[in-house]
Amino acid sequence: MSRWIFVCLCWMPLFALGDEPQPSTVDTSRGDRQLEAYFRAETARLAGSCLTDIKTLDDWTGRREELRRQLREMLGLDPLPARTPLAATVTGTIDHPEFTVEKLHYQSSPGLYVTGNLYIPKGLTSPAPTILYVCGHSRQKEGNISFGNKAGYQHHGAWYARNGYVCLTIDTIQLGEIEGFHHGTHNLNQWWWNARGYTPAGVEAWNGMRGIDYLQTRPEVDPARIGVTGRSGGGAYSWWIAALDERVQAAVPVAGITDLENHVVDGVVDGHCDCMFQVNTYRWDFAQVAALVAPRPLLISNTDKDTIFPLEGVVRVNEKVRRIYRLYGAEKNLGLQITEGPHLDTQELHIHSFRWFNRFLKNDPQSLVEKTAVKLFAPAQLRVFDMLPADEIVTRVAESFVPAAPPPTLPVSASTWGDRRDKVLADLREKSFRGWPMADAVPPAPTVTPAFDVERDGIHLLAFDFESQPHVPLRLYVAGRAGLKPADLDLVVLNVVDATGWSEFLAGMRHAFADQFRDEPPGEPNPKTFEDNRKMFETFRWGMAWVAPRGIGPGAWNPAERKQNGIRRRFQLLGQTVDGMRVWDTRRALQSLRQVEGMKSRPIWLQGEREMAGLALYASLFEPEIARIDLWRLPTTHRNGPDFLNVLRVCDTPLALTIAAERTPVRIYQTNLEGWEFPVGVANSLGWPEKQIQLRKIPD
């Protein structure tokens, strides 16, 4: 069967599945400038709304618990996991003239082991003030054996014990004795962490909260005088723990926070792994995390030349949080201390944190710090496990820490199906697409501006410009038979194209419309594709439309893998994903297509291939009057894309497809037809039309 006949019979994407496009040099400066303007505008909008509506203490206290719940949710802790038995075990001790070190582990959840060292001063006569010290990133290994980052931060625990504090220093899942991962989206391409709503920050927060549970079982600990501190990554975990757990009576996060402007606009997110961030579903700036510590004593501690927690952002966070402390009349409980230096664990930082805890946990603001924080033990001495436990889940905790939506079951009635459908759509708006720029469910249509209108060699090609949102200009292309206007068409098919689809589109059009694409990167035309398409238009009164969502085609961003990775993570911090915003672009393209003269009453089909099929699918859930959806090589699970925040906490692709198919006929073209049993089962059980969902096998 000829390629053209196959296209016509199956209504395949007009420029699809051709030869792979050859690499070309792409001038991305235009797209990169637009992207930077977008990041600045979105960041400014979120920063401008951060805590600004809080005018009185009643305003704050009325919202505080909901904000705390939102933070738990964004860390994967709403509802909190069950407080199962800690199974705390001491595996050995170290004796020092001034203190004892207990080497121990506990399980914050079954199999989620936390290794730590408990420093206990000698000669205690009553329960002592206590510090939970959470470690930053410090690799302490010999060969394949990790001693945990607690060995790298041991000098803090020893100092506290030598000065009358009990101190529990705990490992993190990255660089702990059991070596898990913090780097899913940072450099491991595990973008499904977004879909699961997973961040290792949530695990570290939970491990710390369970550490406080353990400390409260110890007779040496005064439960009314517990503080938390840590540096770098440990500084970040100090924020999470102190914000969520009011048993923390004083906190000193060191080099662990800055604001969205630094992370997104200045790009310092590139220097951080995933443990530093919540899944920003509710689109917070970081001062909202810090404010949840108020009115408890909080010292924000940093150096003035820290490139990953820049001074300007730290100061901005402090100023916003000070407003909340002022409402409590508790400004004396908020401190900002800046010492000279880069991102290092300096003695100056130690002294200020020690004195802060003396002031608020010992009621001793005057005593001098006479003993320095020094490392006293070889790392191997602090090792907890001689052999790692076989039942540990630390190395795979991302798979289970945040519960996924349960697999859907066939509905027993149309009403139960309707309830489920409505709940899924509401949750998708709330949890996955909250970053869309719309105040109403039905946003106003974009303004559409004609760009060109040309006929050559039997094809009529038009282009229209529209703005998906501020700083995101896009172009919509519409083609059909020469001599026909859009109003003369029987239907129009909107193709959502990825980089491969865009290259194929350009190759097909350049044969006759080279002038219209002279600003695009150079490439060879494909006369055969053009001729096949001309014959299609000659046979059918169809229109074909194309849109390349943001970052693709005319607005392409820097294609370097490192740059693309950083871009995706900056979107995450804005409570968005690139794919989620491309769904919005697809919606806006559909709305723009209806604005083209003569197109308002024409049937519109929607189609996409690979991950773009997922974008088309989800756009169809929120746009009315789509006559048909054609999806090519659609991933059967969001584990493989597209990348939307929290989507697997709501539904997976087969359920979304079922919702789409209820009102719009769907055609699925796959090399393997397995994985679509649920939508077919629902269609059969609810008596939908026979051809509402059709599966079509295509060659590999």
* DSSP annotation string for 326-358: HHHT-GGGEEEEEESSSSS--HHHHHHHHHHHH
C-beta separation of 137 from 149 below 8 A = yes
pLDDT at 372: 84
- DSSP collapsed to 3 states, 271-287: HCCHHHCCCCCCCCCCH
* pLDDT tens-place string over residues 117-129: 999 999 999 999 9
Q: Is the dihedral of CA 483, 489, 490, 495 positive or negative?
A: positive
CATH code of the domain containing 115? 3.40.50.1820
Between CA 477 and CA 118 the distance in angstroms is: 66
Which range, 272-281, 365-374, 514-523, 528-537, has the best average confidence (pLDDT)?
272-281
- Domain that includes residue 167, residue range: 77-399
* pLDDT tens-place string over residues 38-74: 999 999 999 999 999 999 999 999 999 999 999 999 9
CA–CA distances in Å: residue 67 to residues 241, 529, 563:
14, 55, 33
pLDDT at 519: 86
- Note whether residue 430 is domain-resident: no
| Same domain membership, residue 115 and residue 19 | no
Sequence-separated (6 or more) residues with CB below 8 Å from residue 286:
257, 258, 259, 260, 317
- Note whether residue 66 is domain-resident: no
pLDDT at 16: 35
| Same domain membership, residue 94 and residue 38 | no
* pLDDT tens-place string over residues 286-299: 999 999 999 999 99
Helix (H) or strand (E) holding 141: strand 141-142
- Note whether residue 597 is domain-resident: yes
What's the rounded mean pLDDT across residues 479-490?
93
Model confidence at 18, in pLDDT bands (50, 70, 90)? very low
- Note whether residue 112 is domain-resident: yes
- Note whether residue 198 is domain-resident: yes
pLDDT at 20 over 70: no
Last residue of a domain, one of 399, 434, 453: 399
Strands (E), 72-140: 89-95, 99-109, 112-121, 128-134
Strands (E), 206-297: 221-231, 248-254
C-beta separation of 667 from 629 below 8 A = yes
pLDDT at 26: 47
What's the rounded mean pLDDT across residues 508-527?
88
Last residue of a domain, one of 346, 365, 399: 399
Predicted TM-score of the model (pTM): 0.94
pLDDT at 27: 54
- Note whether residue 432 is domain-resident: no
Nearest CA to 227 among 361, 363, 365, 373?
Answer: 361
| Same domain membership, residue 169 and residue 215 | yes
What's the rounded mean pLDDT across residues 378-383?
98
| Same domain membership, residue 95 and residue 34 | no
Model confidence at 6, in pLDDT bands (50, 70, 90)? very low
Q: For residue 81, how many C-alpha atoms fall within 13 Å in the half-sphere facing its CB?
A: 22
* pLDDT tens-place string over residues 629-682: 999 999 999 999 999 999 999 999 999 999 999 999 999 999 999 999 999 999
Last residue of a domain, one of 347, 369, 399: 399
What's the rounded mean pLDDT across residues 553-565?
94
| Same domain membership, residue 158 and residue 21 | no
Nearest CA to 489 among 566, 400, 579, 604?
Answer: 604
| Same domain membership, residue 459 and residue 597 | yes
The Cβ of residue 79 has, within 10 Å, a number of other Cβ atoms equal to: 9
Number of helices and strands (H, E) in the chain? Answer: 21, 20
- Note whether residue 408 is domain-resident: no
| Same domain membership, residue 180 and residue 38 | no
| Same domain membership, residue 381 and residue 485 | no
pLDDT at 511: 86
Nearest CA to 606 among 677, 663, 528?
Answer: 663
| Same domain membership, residue 204 and residue 333 | yes
Q: Which of 1-5, 261-265, 457-461 has the lowest mean pLDDT?
A: 1-5
Q: What average pLDDT does the structure give for the chain?
A: 93
| Same domain membership, residue 461 and residue 349 | no
Between CA 607 and CA 14 the distance in angstroms is: 10
Model confidence at 440, in pLDDT bands (50, 70, 90)? low
Q: Could you give the number of structural domains in the chain?
A: 2
| Same domain membership, residue 639 and residue 530 | yes
The Cβ of residue 80 has, within 10 Å, a number of other Cβ atoms equal to: 10
- Note whether residue 405 is domain-resident: no
* pLDDT tens-place string over residues 181-223: 999 999 899 999 999 999 999 999 999 999 999 999 999 999 9
pLDDT at 14 over 50: no
| Same domain membership, residue 664 and residue 528 | yes
